[in-house]
Amino acid sequence: MSVSPMKTSSLTLPIGLAWPMVTAGLLAIFATYWDEAFHTDVGRDSAWAAPHLLLYGSVAVVGLGVAAWGVLVLHGTRSLRTTLSYRPVLAAGLGALIALIAAPIDAAWHVAYGRDAVLWSPPHMLVVFASITLTLGILAGLPPRARVLAIAGSVLLLANAETVVFEYEADVPQFTEVLYLPILLLSLLLVALAVGRLVDGRAPVARVVFGYIAARLAITAVLALMGRSTPDLPIAVLGLAVWDLPLRSTTHKALAAATAVAGLAWIASLNDLASQPASALAITAVPFAMALIAALLLTPRRTYAIAAVVALGVSLPLLHQERAEAHDPGQGEAVTAVDLSATVSERKMNVTATPAGHCDDLRPSRLVARRAGDTITGALTQLVSTSRGSCSFVGQLAVPADGRWFTYVEFSHNGEPVEAWLPLDAGNDDTLTQTRELYRPTGAGDSIGLAQASYGSVIYLAGFALLILGLTTARHAGTGQLRR
């Protein structure tokens, strides 16, 4: 394979085209947090809800921008083969294409295995991988003089990578919270590696980190003004700025930054500034702190061994995942409306459900609270009716930890299960009253079949391959060369 240089003027992404793409990408990040808050506060929404429309419109702008860039490169090079061989265009184009294809894949997945709201489902993660790869392609294609734009694009890159754990930071965890910090660290370190290659100037990672913090503060402020639930402030991400310190190797930079991120996450949790329990974070934070001390004292060769041991230890929690079952896992056909009223005091939850009719064919089953793989159950009983045609059901349970618990009232209706839920914060004494739908749940059940596991693995492998393409593109950025 030979390599020949090309004039960058015919290849680079025009600044006038890149700014709308990056801006639209950041709006899509806001739409993602807005949609999550809507699901938490209100429940399932339609495809034409405002957060969805903003997301669709933003993605369309980015996709059209990538297509226009490809046409400009094709016009400048006069060769389709040369255009497709240019890594930034290839990464951005495939990222945009796969993000588009992921929509029908997701629809087919739900038809086959039930509707869900789990971020880590294979089709959802395929969108995340595609978005990261698309952003890496955009950054790699920017002209060298676009330094401010490179920072803005890198903020978008960090935001896309952070969406991997945004359910934890939005206090709607659907897997064990031990997984949060390892996944966060892996995502942040990959971003730091890419930013170090893609952004010129002093302290590139720190500048991107502070830009991202500003973006997240803006998202939180807007959601608060809208009266929606807000995510945790990304205090831990500040630790990634340590990457820019003049340490002697990339391994030392990675260990130092990871230790700072883990330490800040732990401190934030201990001071009730984060929704993850400190005990779950300590499993990762403590080994990284010990490894950094050892790495600073040992020779460079032994540092690599220390890093490998830490990586292995931190990856062990990934081998055990509790089944996700919370936050609207599968809301199917509605049976009737139900008024739900709940009081929370010292982690004790009292719930009253008053359905609109159906008193003769509803049988109470149980009250259930779910969070991060934990399931707490209590009795649900019918109150004596005070008027003809009306009925109420009450239940009580106590949960073992603070945080948002999705609390379900479950019934039997004509022999079929039906349910409704409320998000209740066990850490705050409060009263919540809402009208929700009593619906028939849909889903794959308690186990994952061989076909679902196989198809999911294929989708994840495709996502990882896409991510590798993006990271490789970042690694070769600035060479001004095409593969032949």
pLDDT (tens digit per residue) in 288-344: 767 666 666 665 555 555 555 555 555 555 554 454 444 555 567 788 889 999 999
Q: What is the mean pLDDT of residues 100-111?
A: 82
| Local confidence band at 409 (pLDDT 50, 70, 90 cut-offs) | very high
- Among 321, 350, 377, where does a domain finish? 321
pLDDT of residue 324: 44
pLDDT of residue 306: 56
Q: For the chain, give the percent of residues with pLDDT over 90.
A: 42
Residue 377: helix, strand or coil by DSSP? strand
Per-position b or e across 412-427, b if 16+ CB within 10 A of its CB: ebeeeebbbbbbbbbb
Same domain, 25 and 138: yes
Task: List, in order, residues 6 or more apart from 296 with CB less than 8 Å away.
Answer: 252
pLDDT of residue 443: 58
Region at 41 (left for phi over 0; alpha for psi -120 to 50; beta for the rest): alpha
Same domain, 395 and 317: no
Q: What is the mean pLDDT of residues 187-215?
A: 94
pLDDT of residue 299: 56
pLDDT of residue 117: 62
| Local confidence band at 2 (pLDDT 50, 70, 90 cut-offs) | very low
Question: pLDDT per residue over 431-461, tens digit each?
Answer: 989 888 888 887 545 456 778 788 888 999 9
Single-letter residue type at 104: P
Task: Look at residue 82 and tell me if it is in a domain.
Answer: yes
Task: Look at residue 198 and tell me if it is in a domain.
Answer: yes
Task: Look at residue 181 and tell me if it is in a domain.
Answer: yes
Task: Look at residue 169 and tell me if it is in a domain.
Answer: no
Same domain, 335 and 317: no
Same domain, 245 and 380: no
Question: pLDDT per residue over 160-173, tens digit each?
Answer: 999 999 889 988 88
Q: What is the mean pLDDT of residues 224-252?
A: 90
Task: Look at residue 25 and tell me if it is in a domain.
Answer: yes
Task: Look at residue 448 and tell me if it is in a domain.
Answer: no
Same domain, 19 and 156: yes
Q: What is the mean pLDDT of residues 244-262?
A: 87
- Among 274, 297, 321, where does a domain finish? 321
Q: Please say if the pLDDT value at position 195 is more than 90.
A: yes
Residue 360 CA to chain centroid, in angstroms?
Answer: 43
Single-letter residue type at 238: L
Number of domains comprising the chain? 3
pLDDT of residue 378: 92
What strands lie across the sheet with 331-345, from one edge to the other?
374-378, 362-371, 404-413, 416-425, 430-441, 331-345, 348-355, 393-398, 380-382
- Among 321, 345, 368, where does a domain finish? 321
Q: Please say if the pLDDT value at position 481 is more than 50.
A: no
Whether the Cβ atoms of residue 126 and residue 112 lie closer than 8 Å to each other = no
Chain mean pLDDT for the chain? 83
- In angstroms, the CA 225 to CA 227 distance is 5
61-70, 387-396, 419-428: least confidently modelled range: 387-396
Q: For the chain, give the percent of residues with pLDDT over 70.
A: 83
Same domain, 262 and 214: yes
Bigger pLDDT: 289 vs 228:
228
Same domain, 181 and 153: no
pLDDT of residue 272: 86
| Local confidence band at 139 (pLDDT 50, 70, 90 cut-offs) | very high
Same domain, 118 and 46: yes
Question: pLDDT per residue over 45-104, tens digit each?
Answer: 666 778 888 988 999 999 999 999 999 998 888 888 888 888 999 999 999 999 989 888
| Local confidence band at 479 (pLDDT 50, 70, 90 cut-offs) | very low
CATH of the domain at 366: 2.60.40
**CA–CA distance from 443 to each of 222, 414, 458 (Å)?**
33, 19, 21
Task: Look at residue 447 and tell me if it is in a domain.
Answer: no
Whether the Cβ atoms of residue 218 and residue 150 lie closer than 8 Å to each other = no
Q: Please say if the pLDDT value at position 5 is more than 50.
A: no
Same domain, 125 and 241: no
Same domain, 229 and 352: no
Task: Look at residue 326 and tell me if it is in a domain.
Answer: no
Same domain, 224 and 337: no
Same domain, 232 and 194: yes
Expressed as residue numbers, the domain containing 111 is: 1-164+454-477
Residue 96: phi, psi to the nearest 5?
A: -65, -40
Q: What is the mean pLDDT of residues 374-385?
A: 86
| Local confidence band at 395 (pLDDT 50, 70, 90 cut-offs) | very high
Residue 345: phi, psi to the nearest 5?
A: -150, 120
